[in-house]
């Protein structure tokens, strides 16, 4: 069952912040985040593991609440280059990596 992402779309002005949420009905072992620009392949952003700490690099960070089976991606002081569709991929410790992706959140950052 696909995780649910919210919001479906968001429009920001450059410099504004955004939060993208990913929620699953299954117990999760890990959550991946990817960004995809139009016409391109998804590109890895970060992985969060059960029991692990919040991750981040530059002005993009994420958290993972394993009890609530939720993850959130935080984009701080957004840049034009942040535009794209963000996907979370969840893994439920099936014994093998089988990511189930959410339907995506479209982010548009305008000048």
Q: Which residues bind another protein (CB under 8 A)?
A: 2, 29-30, 32, 34, 40-44, 47, 49, 87, 89, 91, 96-104
> Rounded to the nearest whole angstrom, what is the least distance from the CB of residue 56 to another protein in the complex?
16
Q: Closer to another protein at the Cβ: 95 or 111?
A: 95
Q: Closer to another protein at the Cβ: 15 or 103?
A: 103
> Rounded to the nearest whole angstrom, what is the least distance from the CB of residue 30 to another protein in the complex?
5
Q: Closer to another protein at the Cβ: 84 or 89?
A: 89
> Rounded to the nearest whole angstrom, what is the least distance from the CB of residue 29 to another protein in the complex?
7
Per-residue exposure over 68-97, b if at least 16 CB sit within 10 Å of its own CB, e if not: ebbbbbebeebeeebbbbbbbbbbbeeeee
Closest CA to 3 of 99, 102, 71: 102
Distance in Å from the first CA to the final CA of the chain: 37
User: How distant, in Å, are the alpha carbons of 46, 82, 92, 94, 97 from that of 20?
Assistant: 14, 13, 20, 25, 23
> Rounded to the nearest whole angstrom, what is the least distance from the CB of residue 22 to another protein in the complex?
11
Q: Closer to another protein at the Cβ: 13 or 41?
A: 41
């Amino acid at each position: 069952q696909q995780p649910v992402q919210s919001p479906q779309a968001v429009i920001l002005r450059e410099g504004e912040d955004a939060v993208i949420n990913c929620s699953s009905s299954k117990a999760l072992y890990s959550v991946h985040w990817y960004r995809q620009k139009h016409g391109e392949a998804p590109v890895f952003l970060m992985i969060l593991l059960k029991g692990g700490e919040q991750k981040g690099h530059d002005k993009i960070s994420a958290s993972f609440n394993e009890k609530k089976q939720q993850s959130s991606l935080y984009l701080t002081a957004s840049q034009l280059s942040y535009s794209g569709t963000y996907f979370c991929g969840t893994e439920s410790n099936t014994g093998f990596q089988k990511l189930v992706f959410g339907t995506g959140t479209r982010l548009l950052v305008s000048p």
